[in-house]
A = this chain, B = another copy of it.
Amino acid sequence: MKRLDCKALDDNCPMAWTRERFDLPDDLLYFDGNSLGVLPAGAAADIAQTVTEEWGQGLIRGWLEADWFTLARRAGDALAPVIGATEGEVVLTDSTSVNIFKLCAALMKKSGQRKHVMMEKDNFPTDGYILEGIIDLLGRDHELQIVPRTEIVSALTENTALALLTHVNYRTGEMFDMADLTRTCRLAGVPIVWDLCHSAGAVPLRLNDWGVEYAVGCTYKFLNGGPGSTSYAYISRTALDRFSPVLTGWFSHANQFGFEEGYREADSINKMQVGTPQVLSLRGAYNGIMSYSDVPMENVREKSLKLSNLFIELAEERLSHYGFDLASPRDAQKRGSQISFYHDEGYAICQALIARNVIPDYREPHILRFGITPLYMRYVDVWDCVEIIADIMDTGAWRAFQSASRSAVT
C-alpha cells in the first residue's frame, strides 16, 4: 500500500461526493468528528438567515412563519431514517444528559419491586451520574449495578429495573449487538434505554426492526450539528402510549397554548419536550442531520470499515513497535466508527499531533481516539495521519509535550 493507492481509492470512491457537503478547514487532518462534527456547507448561511431574517426581521412571528414551533419535530423526522425509526418517533430536545434523565426516571418510577439499574462499566460518565441522581431523588432503594460489558446478559435478573446501555463505547468503539441485547432484555421484562451518541450517523441502526423502545443521542458528533447542538429522544410507537413524562413542561402538554391550569400529556412524541427549544442550536442540528439526506447508512458503513481497516493495517506496519496497542475490536463487526489505541504517552502524542494539524482526541486512561467519518474523510487522510504519527514517533517530537499540563477540556 502506497499513498498513490489511497489516492486511487478516493478517486474511485462512490461516496467521494459527500465531502462537498461540508466546509472543511484547509490543511487539517480531522479525526475528531466523533467528538464534534464539521460544518455542513450552507449551514452558516442557513443559521445566519435564522438570526437576521427570521429573528431580526420576523421577531415573534418566527414561531409560525419560520416554523420554529415544529422544527424540533421536523428535525426528528429527518433523523428517523438515519436511525431506522419512523416519523413521529423522534424529537430534538434538551441535552443528552437531560434526555437520559427523562427516560430513565420515568421508567424507574414504574419499576415496582425491581430495583437494579444496570449500566455498562466504562460507559460515558454522565450516564452513570444521571442514574445516581435519579436513584437518590426517588429514594426507593434502587441500586446502580455496574457490570462489565461481557456480563450484561448474565447479570439480568427478575430484580433488574432498567438497563442503560451505550451502543458504541466512547473509549474503544466497541459495539454491542443491539438487536440481540434488546430482545434478551425485553424477554426478561427489562426496559432498555440505548445511548446512541457514538452510533447515529456512524453505523446503520434499525431501531424499529430491532424492537428498540427508548433511545437518546446527541447531534454534534457524527451528525455534524455544531457545538452542543440539541439532543434527541426516541420512543417507539409501540411504547409511546405506555410512557408518561416526568419533566412535564408546557411543550409536552396536550394543549400547549390553551394554557390550561392542569397538566395533560401530549399523545405524541411531543411528550418528550419540556420547555422552549433553543432554536439556533436546533437549527444547527437540523442542518447537520440534513447532511445525511440521501446517503444510505450501508454505504457509510462500508466506507467506514474500509477506512478503519486501512488505519489499523497502516498503524500495525508503522506504529506497533512504538507501543501503540489497538484498543478497538479487531473484528470489524464489533466496532463502531473509531479506532482507539492505548499508549502510555497518549496525552503527549495527542498534543504533538495537534501541533502538526492532526486532530484526534485523548480519553483517560491512556487512550488516543481517531474518529472515522466517511462523509468527509478520504483514504489519503488516513495515510497522511499515520505518516505523521510515525514521524512524531520516529523523531521523538512527542517528547516536547510530555510535561504539558492537562487542559480543562480533553
Tell me the A residues contacting B by CB distance below 8 Å: 23, 25, 28, 30, 32, 35-36, 38-39, 43-44, 47-48, 51-52, 54-57, 59-64, 68-69, 94-98, 101, 105, 109, 124-126, 128-130, 132-133, 136-140, 146, 218, 220, 226-231, 245-253, 257-263, 274-284, 354, 359, 361, 363-364, 406-410
Contacts and interface: CB of A to CB of B under 8 A. Distances in A.
A147 B320 CA distance: 71
B64 A95 contact: no
B359 A228 contact: no
Contacts of A28: 59
Nearest to A277: B228
Contacts of A220: 276
Shortest Cβ-Cβ A-B pairs, 6 listed: A95-B275, A97-B249, A97-B275, A133-B248, A278-B281, A227-B279
Given A263-B128, A280-B47, A246 B133 contact: yes
Nearest to A281: B278
B32 A59 contact: yes
A48 B23 CA distance: 14
Contacts of A280: 47, 226-229, 278, 280-281, 283-284
Contacts of A124: 250
Q: How many copies does the complex hold?
A: 2
8 contacts: A32-B59, A38-B56, A64-B409, A94-B95, A95-B278, A97-B274, A228-B276, A281-B281
Task: Give the interface centre of A125, A218, A260 by most chain B CB atoms within 10 Å.
Answer: A125
A98 B274 contact: yes
Given A136-B246, A281-B279, A60 B129 contact: no
A280 to B, nearest CB: 4
A402 to B, nearest CB: 19
A261 B47 CA distance: 38
Contacts of A261: 125, 128, 146
Given A25-B59, A52-B39, A274-B98, A408 B247 contact: no
A100 to B, nearest CB: 8
